[in-house]
Amino acid sequence: MRKRVALLFVVFGVFLAICTGCNGFSEEPPAQASKANSSKYKIGVEEKSSISEGVASQLPKAQIKHYPDLITAYFALQVGDIDILAYDENVLTHTFNDSMSGLTYIENDIDVPNEFVIAMNKHSSIPDLKGIINRLIDSLNAAGTLTELNEHWNKNLKTNPLISTKESDSEQILRIATSADVPPFSFMSGNQIVGLDVDIAKLLEEKLNIKTSIIKMDRNKLVTALKNNDADLIISAFTICECLRHEIDYSKPYFIGKTTFAIRNDFDKEATLSKVPKMTYLEPKKPDEIYKLADLSGKSIGVQSGTTLDEQVQQLIKLPRIQYFANIPEMTSALEQRDLDGIAVDYSVAESILMHHSDFSILKERLNKDEFGIAMGKNSPLKSSIDSCISILQKKGEIQKIKDKWSKNKSAVRAMKQDWVGTDTLVVGTEALYAPYEFYQWGELSGIDIDIMYTIGKMLNKNIKFADMNFDVLIPSLVNEKTDLCIAAMSITEERSNFIDFSIPYDKNESVIVVHTPQHALEKIGDSTGVLSHIFQKIQDLFD
């Protein structure tokens, strides 16, 4: 009997080890970076970077593992795939605050170059582009401007009021690639890319009198974009890699960084599932399938530019890699191609997407609840009358009837038509790529918002003229008085209310995540991690 029990514990222990993804680890953390020059240490670095080359040169006996970006390397450290993470100190400390990082820093007593430069296409159409950039860097250094920019972004991480936002009227465009994931140099603030690198891009725009277009992409795709002539420059906390010198050009350094070496706080313990979303390692699921919000930690999530969904994603999902899209169809296509792990949309939109994608599903956990309002310029004389119309329509149940109409098979219903002649015309901005609220059907602008706006127009005896435009242009169109109203399933937020006014809410909706996981698989997993997973977790807790 005892032998059976012992054997059972051995088998159970082996099975537990497999399930928890046991990794080898070094028991003693090195006191200095130079002490990590041993084959027993695995050091994670960013691929094709000066730190990668420097660490390999200074610590030739260590095992060097390459990662596409900081987030990926950080997760590798937390799950025990590496013992040490080598990265730029400024970026690392701005990416992870002390309360969540779980990192301890060891002394760097070796020389690892870490100079940030602007990378450029060797065959740029702009004459002497390298010379112009180098002279700009020299002048900014001489004037102390680069030091001021660095101090500013290290203090408050807000848009720099000292940098002009005026755009050049030149027809020529300089395409600048950045990853927007390396604060304080290039990162997302709301739906804008900001940081020291973006300020340099604006200064370059002024110097050249040329328009700049900031292109956000994955960090490991920056060089490819340059080589394929999809970008003219890379400004993204980018360092010199000697292996790329024959393919791309480098400017003079505009920032001298400091390489730091980080280890886990509990270096002497086995990396455990507490470091990462537990379900990722306990669920017997396919690698590409997502079942809970926790599964999206460190994953790529698409949101539409100009919406508030990026803020909701950042609040509820740990270290998401947010990618911005101009419209829903582009975002849906990226999910279909598995370029994204999930997309954040309103629930009604998600239902519409699922009608055409049987292999998609909606996660049960919600992001947030939004209230939609009709937007208008500040102190608009239309506000009181629009509010009155919405109040009447809600009391009569008319808005719910419109929603019910478009919740059915959309191809079987038609949009409302204007059958009256108004006293004057209201120009209403919208973006017709957000079914079921606004979209084109049979060549006609259709959807919930379109019917609501026509109904209000009839009540006010106003002609309605819709202006279809990108979502992120809607608010500027009101501020610049190009439109009278905007209706586009737009969430009422305090930030937007600083620039425009909203009507009272005409609809409420939940924000959700759509993933490329079949619904039947999602229902099978449900909200739990399964009985076996719970058992293994309890056993693991006893040993932790």
Query: Would you list the DSSP string of 468-514?
Result: E--HHHHHHHHHTTS-SEE-SSPBP-TTGGGTEEE-S--EEEEEEEE
- pLDDT computed for residue 441 by the predictor: 81
pLDDT of amino acid 530? 36
User: Where does 409-479 show beta strands of DSSP type E?
Assistant: 425-430, 433-434, 438-441, 444-446, 463-468
Q: Is the bond preceding 184 in cis, omega lying within 30 degrees of 0?
A: yes
- Residue 536: per-residue pLDDT: 39
Element (H, E) at 194: strand 192-194
Q: For position 7, what pLDDT does the model report? A: 39
- Token digits of residue 175: 């395409």
Does residue 430 contact residue 454 with C-beta atoms inside 8 Å? no
| Contact call for residues 304 and 331 (beta carbons, < 8 A) | yes
Q: Among positive and negative, which fits the CA dihedral 197, 201, 204, 206? A: negative
Closest CA to 456 of 410, 502, 482, 422: 422
pLDDT confidence of residue 531? 36
The Cα 113–Cα 136 span in angstroms is 23
Give, for all 544 residues of the chain, the pLDDT tens digit. Answer: 434 434 344 344 434 433 444 444 456 789 899 999 999 999 999 999 999 999 999 999 999 999 998 888 888 887 788 999 999 998 988 887 544 457 888 999 998 989 999 999 888 778 888 999 999 999 888 888 888 888 888 876 566 666 766 676 777 888 999 998 898 999 887 668 889 999 999 988 888 888 888 999 889 899 999 988 889 999 999 999 998 998 999 999 999 999 999 998 876 665 543 443 332 222 333 445 688 888 888 888 999 887 888 888 888 888 888 888 888 888 999 998 888 999 999 888 898 888 888 889 999 888 888 899 999 999 999 999 999 999 999 999 999 999 988 876 555 678 898 999 999 999 999 998 888 899 888 778 999 999 999 999 999 999 999 999 888 889 999 998 999 999 999 999 888 999 999 999 999 888 999 998 876 555 443 333 333 333 334 434 443 3
For the record, the structure tokens of 294 come out as: 């926790």
